[in-house]
């Protein structure tokens, strides 16, 4: 990643004209003579990863340290209202549109669809004063962020908020906009109707087999079948009667779920895990994608768990200290924009990397890790804010310095011991590193 890459990304996602448009549309500036709205909005985003105190206090620190005119505390907190929320939502839309327009990186078996999408939610506990608007699962206040992540672009491309008490499933609708995409979801979204919609709209889907579902087996193409199969038998009954034996071989069967007009036909595949148990998946992918490949594809779903961790550990999504709903939502938008910036930088770095010359080529340089990058961006937030006002050679020098720091500190420290599934699908071979004693002895 070069200084020009960093500067272009920052100026594309945080451009002054977009800030001015959002400020004007929301009426955020109005007659506040002491409010520098552009600097305030940038402080909202860049301070999201700050390592200091409360979220709103960090916005104030960055805003005033950038040279803005001081105001009394009450006036400052009055700015955290509906107009700020509206402006921040518009900026998050700018960031997501930019991210969704990036070239996709879909190596290997991921390339069978236009893009894979992962849908998941993350829960944020709030101040108890907000329990009526955002009831949690208990007697506390909480909301959910329902996210859609693009695997090909490596970042969130859509999200919305709801009270935490609402079930995840109602927040995912498969329609024409999903055609020719892939979908990776956990059991919170398990629904026979949703699987049927995936078939209707040509959406490739992979989901774990839900425990209380009773798929009926029509045929078995792979597996240790030791007795005559009667088509239409429950899958569990085949296992109990030793018609199908879990002997370590992969399983690939054609099954149906539901009944009558609600019936949906899918593949059920099973793969033995290292501890000897089996994981079972339902999918509508064609037979040329084998059971182990389907298991590998489902492992990619963990990318959104890592993205949720980026939101919370680096951009403090679970440290929302505001007591007004509008302020809460504005701070959430700021956190997610900050995460999108980090993921966009990491994705562009991956695109610029040299691809493996052949499948199984040895990776010799560590990949960038979004969480490590996020922490470095947090430490450099004030410098980044200042760099956005520089011009000419001075700007070039500063952006190159910042990019060098982010790359140096953003390397994945565990890349040899725990290579990512995406690196494996890209075709890289990653050999485990030598223990420190062995390295010293050989050196």
pLDDT band at 261; cut points 50, 70, 90: confident
Please report the pLDDT score of residue 29 as a whole number: 58
Is 267 in contact with 284 (CB distance < 8 Å)? yes
Q: Looking up tokens 């910042």, which residue turns up? A: 402
Query: ∠ at Cα 78 (75, 84), nearest 5°?
Result: 130
pLDDT band at 435; cut points 50, 70, 90: low
This prediction's pTM? 0.91
Residue 220 pLDDT exceeds 70:
yes
Please report the pLDDT score of residue 413 as a whole number: 86
Within 10 Å of residue 234's Cβ, how many Cβ atoms?
13
Structure tokens at 388: 């956005």
Q: Looking up tokens 């398990």, which residue turns up? A: 190
Is 220 in contact with 246 (CB distance < 8 Å)? no
Structure tokens at 58: 């960090």
> How many whole angstroms separate alpha carbon 344 and alpha carbon 272?
35
> How many whole angstroms separate alpha carbon 191 and alpha carbon 116?
19
Instruction: Give the pLDDT confidence of 83-125 residue by residue, as tens digits.
Output: 889 988 989 999 999 999 999 999 889 999 999 999 999 999 9
Q: What is the 3-state secondary structure (H, E, C) of 177-200?
A: HHCCCEEECCHHHCCHHHHHHHHH
Q: What are the helix and strand counts (H, E) for the chain? A: 16, 14
Pick the more confident residue, 286 or 57.
286
Pick from 170, 118, 131, 70: nearest CA to 299: 118
Residue 135's Cα: distance from chain center in Å? 25
Write down the mean pLDDT value for the chain. Answer: 90
Q: Looking up tokens 């760099």, which residue turns up? A: 387
Instruction: Give the pLDDT confidence of 52-71 residue by residue, as tens digits.
Output: 667 888 888 888 887 778 87
> How many whole angstroms separate alpha carbon 183 and alpha carbon 188?
14
Please report the pLDDT score of residue 436 as a whole number: 52
Pick from 211, 212, 293: nearest CA to 252: 293
Please report the pLDDT score of residue 46 as a whole number: 86
Residues, the chain, total?
A: 443
Percent of the chain that is helix, strand, coil (3-state, to 5):
45, 20, 35
Query: ∠ at Cα 148 (147, 150), nearest 5°?
Result: 140
Using a pLDDT cut of 90, give the percent of the chain over it: 62
Rounded to 10 deg, the angle between the 392-409 and 3-13 helix axes is 100
Judged by DSSP in three states, 251 sits in strand
Is 151 in contact with 304 (CB distance < 8 Å)? no
pLDDT band at 437; cut points 50, 70, 90: low
Is 1 in contact with 403 (CB distance < 8 Å)? yes
> How many whole angstroms separate alpha carbon 331 and alpha carbon 322?
8
> How many whole angstroms separate alpha carbon 100 and alpha carbon 110?
17
Query: Rounded to whole angstroms, what are the CA distances from 316 to 24, 150, 234?
Result: 28, 22, 47
Residue 34 pLDDT exceeds 60:
no
Residue 304 pLDDT exceeds 90:
yes
Pick from 218, 299, 290, 287: nearest CA to 255: 218
Is 344 in contact with 9 (CB distance < 8 Å)? yes
Backbone angles phi, psi at 105, to 5 degrees: -115, 100
Q: Give the pLDDT mean for 423-436.
A: 78
What's the chain's Rg over C-alpha atoms?
25
Is 121 in contact with 188 (CB distance < 8 Å)? yes
Query: 57 Cβ partners below 8 Å, 6+ apart?
Result: none
Residue 48 pLDDT exceeds 90:
no
Backbone angles phi, psi at 119, to 5 degrees: -115, 130
């Amino acid at each position: 990643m070069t200084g020009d890459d960093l500067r272009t990304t920052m100026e594309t996602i945080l451009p002054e004209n977009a800030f001015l448009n959002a400020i004007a549309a929301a009426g955020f500036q109005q007659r506040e003579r002491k409010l520098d709205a552009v600097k305030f909005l940038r402080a909202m985003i860049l301070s999201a990863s700050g390592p200091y105190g409360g979220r709103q206090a960090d916005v104030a620190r960055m805003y005033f340290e950038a040279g803005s005119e001081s105001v009394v505390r009450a006036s400052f907190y009055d700015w955290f209202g509906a107009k700020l929320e509206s402006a921040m939502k518009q900026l998050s839309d700018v960031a997501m549109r930019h991210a969704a327009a990036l070239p996709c990186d879909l190596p290997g078996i991921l390339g069978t669809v236009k893009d894979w999408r992962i849908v998941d939610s993350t829960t944020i506990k709030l101040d108890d004063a907000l329990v009526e608007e955002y009831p949690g699962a208990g007697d506390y206040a909480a909301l959910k962020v329902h996210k859609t992540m693009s695997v090909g672009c490596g970042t969130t491309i859509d999200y919305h908020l709801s009270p935490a008490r609402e079930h995840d499933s109602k927040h995912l609708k498969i329609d024409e906009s999903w055609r020719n995409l892939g979908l990776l979801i956990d059991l919170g979204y398990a629904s026979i109707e949703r699987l049927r919609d995936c078939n209707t709209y040509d959406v490739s889907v992979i989901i774990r087999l839900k425990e209380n579902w009773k798929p009926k087996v029509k045929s078995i193409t792979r597996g240790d079948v030791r007795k005559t199969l009667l088509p239409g038998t429950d899958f569990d009954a085949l296992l109990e009667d030793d018609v199908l034996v879990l002997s370590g071989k992969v399983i690939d069967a054609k099954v149906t779920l539901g009944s009558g007009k609600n019936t949906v036909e899918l593949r059920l595949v099973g793969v033995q895990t290292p501890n000897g148990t089996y994981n079972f998946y339902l999918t509508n992918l064609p037979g040329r994608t084998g059971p182990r490949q389907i298991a590998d594809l489902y492992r990619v779903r963990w990318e959104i768990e890592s993205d949720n961790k980026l939101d919370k550990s680096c951009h403090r999504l679970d440290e929302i200290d505001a007591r007004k709903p509008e302020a809460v939502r504005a701070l959430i938008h700021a956190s997610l924009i900050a995460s999108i910036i980090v993921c966009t930088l990491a994705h562009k770095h991956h695109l610029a990397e040299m691809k493996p010359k052949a499948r199984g080529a040895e990776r010799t340089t560590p990949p960038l890790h979004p969480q490590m990058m996020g922490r470095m961006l947090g430490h450099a937030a004030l410098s980044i804010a200042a760099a956005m006002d520089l011009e000419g050679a001075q700007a070039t020098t500063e952006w190159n310095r910042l990019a060098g720091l982010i790359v140096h500190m953003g390397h994945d420290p565990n890349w040899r011991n725990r290579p990512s599934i995406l690196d494996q699908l890209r075709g890289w071979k990653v050999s485990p590193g030598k223990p420190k004693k062995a390295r010293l002895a050989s050196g």
